[in-house]
Structure 1
Amino acid sequence: MQTGAKLPNVTFRTRVRDESIGGPNPFRWEDLTTADYFAGKRVVMFALPGAFTPTCSTYQLPGFEKGFADFQAHGVDEIYCLSVNDAFVMNQWAKAQGLENVKVIPDGSGEFTRRVGMLVRKDNLGFGLRSWRYACVVKDGVVEAWFEEPGLSDNHGEDPYGISSPENVLAWLAEDAKAKAA
């Protein structure tokens, strides 16, 4: 995606807690659209190849979670983590990571990921179709900044990480704030 591009309108199939259901699994399906997540807000979204995977669980997600207050200080309302995983997997990963600040977005069919040009094959790892690692700053559904890892390709032999790191995105936000203040 390019800076200034509008995010594609997609419906995400999510599962939300609903105590009225009762029982050991009190969740119901809820469809949320791109507009539900992005309209009227400034958000950071980062996407990664898979929940529960090493780089994602050890560095990227925890870094965004721990740095939430720093992102808020730069005018960010929400931080979203998107992956080509279903709602059940994403919710369990969020629970396992103890998330309080970052919200997960399940792109189970990969539709959003495909439409932003980031859907890649990871058959070499037994993953099938997944997201290439990237991050972006989005204001009211329009991309302000795009941070894509190098080497976008199917069955890439490595998992590049750095450009989409929380530290790099935060540095961009700091520079953007200085530029706007000048």
Structure 2
Amino acid sequence: MFAGQKLPKVTFRTRVRDESIEGPNPFRWQDMTTDEYFAGKRVVLFSLPGAFTPTCSTYQLPGFENGFEDFAAEGIDAIYCMSVNDSFVMNKWAEAQGIKNVKVIPDGSGEFTRKVGMLVDKDNVGFGMRSWRYAAIVNDGVVEAWFEEPGRDDNHPEDPYGESSPENVLKALKAAKAEAAA
């Protein structure tokens, strides 16, 4: 994806808490579309290889979560974390991480990730098809800025991290704001 491109239309299968459901698993299926997540909002979307993985759980997700107010001050309405994991996994990961500000988007089938050109084979680490690590600033469904880790390739021997870090995305937002004000 590049700046100026519109995000693909996809329907995500999510599980949401529903207090009207009794028992130990009070959740129901709810389809959410790309438009429902992105239309009329300026958001940060970041995607990573997998929930519960070290870099994602130690740096990337907590960094966006803890920096939420800084992003809001730069005109960001929401921050979304996407992974090629199902909704059950994404919800449990968000719960385990104590996430309150970042919203998780399950791309269980990898359809969105494939359509944005970021689906890679990670069989070398036992993952199968997963997302390459990236972040984007998206305004009303259109990519404003794209931050992709270098070396995107199937079975890449490393998991680069830096371009899509919260610090880098926030720095770009501040620079764009300063440039617009000048």
Normalising TM by the smaller chain, what interval? Answer: over 0.9
SS of 2:40 mapped into structure 1: coil
Gaps of 5+ in 1: none
1:45 corresponds to 2:45: yes
Distance 1:90 1:51 in 2: 6
1:127 corresponds to 2:127: yes
The alpha-carbon deviation at position 101 of structure 1 amounts to: 0.3
CA RMSD of aligned residues (A): 0.3
1:137 corresponds to 2:137: yes
The alpha-carbon deviation at position 22 of structure 1 amounts to: 1.3
In the alignment of these two chains, the number of paired residues is 182
What are the Cα deviations for residues 36-68 of structure 1, in whole angstroms up to 9, with x where unaligned? 000000000000000000000000000000000
2:87 match? 87
1:76 corresponds to 2:76: yes
The alpha-carbon deviation at position 160 of structure 1 amounts to: 0.2
The alpha-carbon deviation at position 181 of structure 1 amounts to: 1.0
2:177 match? 177
Distance 2:172 2:22 in 1: 45
The residue type paired with residue 24 of structure 1 is P
1:156 match? 156
TM-score calculated relative to the size of structure 2:
1.00
The alpha-carbon deviation at position 165 of structure 1 amounts to: 0.2
Identity of aligned residues (%): 76
Gaps of 5+ in 2: none
SS of 1:178 mapped into structure 2: helix
Distance 1:78 1:23 in 2: 31
SS of 1:112 mapped into structure 2: helix
1:61 corresponds to 2:61: yes
Distance 1:111 1:22 in 2: 32
TM-score calculated relative to the size of structure 1:
1.00
1:4 match? 4
1:98 corresponds to 2:98: yes
The alpha-carbon deviation at position 179 of structure 1 amounts to: 1.1
